[in-house]
Amino acid sequence: MASKHEYVIAEENKGQRIDQFLTACAEISFTRSQIQKLIEERKVTVNCNQTKASYKLKIGDKVNVQVPAPQKLEVLSENIPLDIVYEDQDLIVINKPAGMVVHPAPGNYQGTLVNALLAHCKDLSGIGGILRPGIVHRLDKDTSGLIVIAKSDLAHQSLTKQFKDKKVFKQYLALVHGWVEPEKGLIETKLGRHPVQRKKMAVLDWEDRKTHGKFAATEFSVKDRYESEDGQRYSLVELVLKTGRTHQIRVHMQHLGHGVAGDAVYGKQKNDLNIPRQMLHASKLGFMHPRTGQYIKLNAELPKDIREALNKLQKR
């Protein structure tokens, strides 16, 4: 069902960009990119006039937002097996295999997690639109592990807000090059688009105002150290995301000098383990259930390909 929202700007929001302001409105519960799309589609007005995402609010501005009804889903369902870790009327948690794209996009309109979910669930939340029904977060194609999908609009709105407010626990395991020192630490950087290679992300200079990036933080701790027969060193590292930026772990580990093994984009060191994907796995996921308020924490063991790679190595 379509909905309308009206806001009168107070002193505390003076000077804030309108897309940032609306992203923080819980009753809308849209991502910033979704808000910007609403603005482009002229569904947001300020004092009855069309506006831009960069507009800075003034005291007394009257902001009106029209949120359209969810679109009818048209992506084809496909009978693809799913490793279901948890499911109820509101949400489903999948242990996604490496190689599976999360949602349809140019070049990947079939064989995605969404295609499989439409065959299994029949009732995904439509808030994400035709191509991303129920999707509240992503995993890279070649990252395996836990991903939660909303089946109801209630769940979609609640989970989106929990991710935005950084209240979702996300832990990963990664096999990286070298022996990481120190054994524990916190990586804090400015992360944004690479200034030259625009398809890549990069750690940016905090002082450089010409680059646009966001704060990114990753906790790490070494679980085990390994060595291959020819002397190459590796570490199995546990990582907890404090923020959720694109390619955050892969870029942060490269920045630390310990790229994720098998990562063809960010970790191009010699890899003698013969695995054609980055050895990164979303191992634990924790969040508040949207309907019951109960805290749910789930675990997914390392997949077969990473376990086989570890078996080829000697612990140190």
Query: 162-177 pLDDT, tens per residue?
Result: 999 999 999 999 999 9
Find the CATH number of the domain harbouring 128.
3.30.2350.10
pLDDT at 207: 78
Instruction: Give yes or no: residues 225 and 286 share one domain.
Output: yes
Instruction: Give yes or no: residues 191 and 209 share one domain.
Output: yes
CB-facing half-sphere around the CA of 9: CA atoms within 13 A: 21
Find the CATH number of the domain harbouring 43.
3.10.290.10
Query: What residues are annotated to the active site?
Result: 140
What is the residue range of 232's domain?
A: 170-315
CA dist 140 to 274, 281, 311, Å?
Answer: 20, 10, 25
Residue 220 has pLDDT above 90, yes or no: yes
Number of structural domains in the chain = 3
Instruction: Give yes or no: residues 176 and 149 share one domain.
Output: no
Condensed to tens digits (0 to 9), the pLDDT of residues 190-206 reads: 998 888 777 788 999 88
Instruction: Give yes or no: residues 175 and 230 share one domain.
Output: yes
pLDDT at 97: 96
pLDDT at 168: 97
pLDDT at 28: 79
The verdict on residue 79 lying in a domain is no
Residue 108 has pLDDT above 70, yes or no: no
Residue 131 has pLDDT above 70, yes or no: no
Condensed to tens digits (0 to 9), the pLDDT of residues 3-14 reads: 889 999 998 889
- Asked which of 161, 180, 200 is the last residue of a domain, the reply is 161
Highest mean pLDDT pick, 21-30, 121-130, 236-245: 236-245
Residue 126 has pLDDT above 80, yes or no: no
Buried b (16+ CB within 10 A) or exposed e, 262-297: bbebbbebebebebebbbbbbbbbbbebbeeeeebe
pLDDT at 74: 64
Q: The pTM is what?
A: 0.76
pLDDT at 213: 85
